[in-house]
Amino acid sequence: MALTSPDHDPVPALVDVLGRLVFSGVGIADVVADSGYAYRVPEHFALRMRALGAGLVMDLHPSDRGTQGTHGGAICFNGALYCPATPRALFSIEPLSRQASEEETKLHDARSAELQRYKLGKTSACDADGYHRVACPAVLGKLRCPAREASMALCFSHPEILTPPSHLPPCCVQKTITVPPSVNAKTAQRHDYPSAAHRRSYARRSAVERSNSRIKDPATTDVARGWCRIMGLVPMSLFLAGALVVRNLAVADAFDERQAENARRLAAGLAPRTRRRRRKAHRRARRHHFGQRPGLINVALRVASARANAATYWHPANDGQPGCGPAIQPFATTKRENGIGLNVKTSRAEREGFEPSDPVSQVNSLAVSPIRPLSHLSLSTTLVDMRPVRRPAALARNTSSNGVLASCKRAGGQG
């Protein structure tokens, strides 16, 4: 473990720490990183990690996704090389959404598996300089291609290239081609992106994020600014190492408790206890098709539904006369407040949410920050008192007498 001051770039510091681990005899299998690391210059992160023998599992930045040129006639797509006759529709595949249903997941994985058939496979490991060789998918027996006569003997369950390129590139003529480290230097990784294998491997990153959130939680360790009065990298490293040890011991204890509970349930003839799903897709998001934004709402459908409800619910008029008027929906209940005649609906939309509208950088923790009261649209509604106003008796007599005099003058004028 190593700490650096905030004025240092974390990416080169991470690579230096992993390099010291490798030189000390500790091997590195996979490095799981988000797009913030994958987007960096290859000379600072990707190329140095491959030189250490690490397998990268990354979430590609949107700017690095899609086709990125060619090499030897093969198409560079999401960190791999593909046959020049690959159907262009397969290059439109995007990462699977978190709100995707089971059917959408199966369709996405089927398209990823179909795209993998057109991928050029590696036939050698990377040498000391990072060079390796790849072969045509028809040579590897993945598909049928007229340019490779031996591949036409494969069964018809394999995809077939119907229109090969008119001018065959080197990847279609040679048995293998050499790929230098500069090709797909930033995006090449262990699994095909975004396949099911990549999705399962990248899901391991959530365990690291849970550890980070646990030591930053104000209710447990809280390593935010000001958590320790000791200054310097060495004392802070010692304190942070102790916090991580406590976190790892808590995880180990929880694992032992779960294993003991599962053994007890198994002895009693019960199935092991499964973890309840915490994140649930919103019902609005489930109504949208795959590829659409889940936050969009069809306003036309909502207006039509409101009109249908207004036309369905009717009741006799309030004056008791024959007729009908629009009924109040069952969920729109009314309540009288502050006296008689003040009829206010209780279901009002909020102007602001529960959280205070402050920038994230200015809010240290919600546990110690004051919560702003909610404001409702009902506060801006003008309340009118419908009770009759009592006027003084003298004012009533003057008003009535003035009315009699005015009527007499009009009558005299007419006579």
Question: Where do the DSSP E strands lie in 85-165?
Answer: 121-122, 132-135
What amino acid occupies position 3?
Answer: L
Tell me how crowded residue 262 is: count the other CB atoms within 10 A of its CB. 14
Claim to verify: residue 129 and residue 40 sit in the same structural domain: no
Residues 344 and 383: beta-carbon distance below 8 Å: yes
Claim to verify: residue 130 and residue 239 sit in the same structural domain: no
Encode burial over 148-176: b for 16+ CB neighbours within 10 A, e otherwise. Answer: beebeebeeebbebeeeeeeebebbebeb
Claim to verify: residue 31 and residue 129 sit in the same structural domain: no
Tell me the C-alpha distance between 104 and 383, whole Å: 51
3-state secondary structure of 102: helix
Domain that holds residue 52: 1-59
Tell me the C-alpha distance between 310 and 289, whole Å: 29
370 occurs within a structural domain: no
185 occurs within a structural domain: yes
372 occurs within a structural domain: no
Burial of 282 (0-12, 13-18, 19+ CB in 10 A): exposed
Distance of CA 122 to the CA centre of its chain: 33
236 occurs within a structural domain: yes
Residue 244 has what pLDDT?
86
Residue 10 has what pLDDT?
85
Claim to verify: residue 230 and residue 244 sit in the same structural domain: yes
Claim to verify: residue 72 and residue 47 sit in the same structural domain: no
Tell me the C-alpha distance between 26 and 59, whole Å: 25
Comparing CA positions, the residue from 81, 89, 187, 186 lying closest to residue 136 is 81
Residues 66 and 78: beta-carbon distance below 8 Å: yes
Among the candidates 200, 228, 261, a domain finishes at 261
Claim to verify: residue 66 and residue 134 sit in the same structural domain: yes
Claim to verify: residue 15 and residue 31 sit in the same structural domain: yes
Residue 391 has what pLDDT?
53
What is the crossing angle of helices 233-267 and 205-216, to 10°? Answer: 120
Claim to verify: residue 65 and residue 162 sit in the same structural domain: yes
315 occurs within a structural domain: no
For residue 278, CA distances in Å to 145, 206, 283, 366 come to: 48, 14, 15, 21
Residue 355 has what pLDDT?
42
Q: pLDDT for 16-56, tens place per residue?
A: 889 998 998 888 889 999 888 888 899 999 999 998 889 99
198 occurs within a structural domain: no
Claim to verify: residue 166 and residue 153 sit in the same structural domain: yes
Phi, psi of 344 (to 5 degrees): -130, 130
Claim to verify: residue 50 and residue 68 sit in the same structural domain: no
Among the candidates 42, 59, 76, a domain finishes at 59
Q: pLDDT for 91-123, tens place per residue?
A: 999 998 888 899 999 999 999 999 999 999 999
171 occurs within a structural domain: yes
Q: Which helix (H) or strand (E) holds 31?
A: strand 30-33
Give the total number of structural domains in the chain.
Answer: 3
Claim to verify: residue 81 and residue 153 sit in the same structural domain: yes
Claim to verify: residue 55 and residue 67 sit in the same structural domain: no
Tell me the C-alpha distance between 235 and 335, whole Å: 61
Among the candidates 19, 43, 59, a domain finishes at 59
Residues 59 and 80: beta-carbon distance below 8 Å: no
Tell me the C-alpha distance between 143 and 359, whole Å: 54
121 occurs within a structural domain: yes
Residue 117 has what pLDDT?
92
Spans of the chain, pLDDT less than 50: 283-297, 299, 311-358, 360-384, 394-415
Residue 321 has what pLDDT?
43
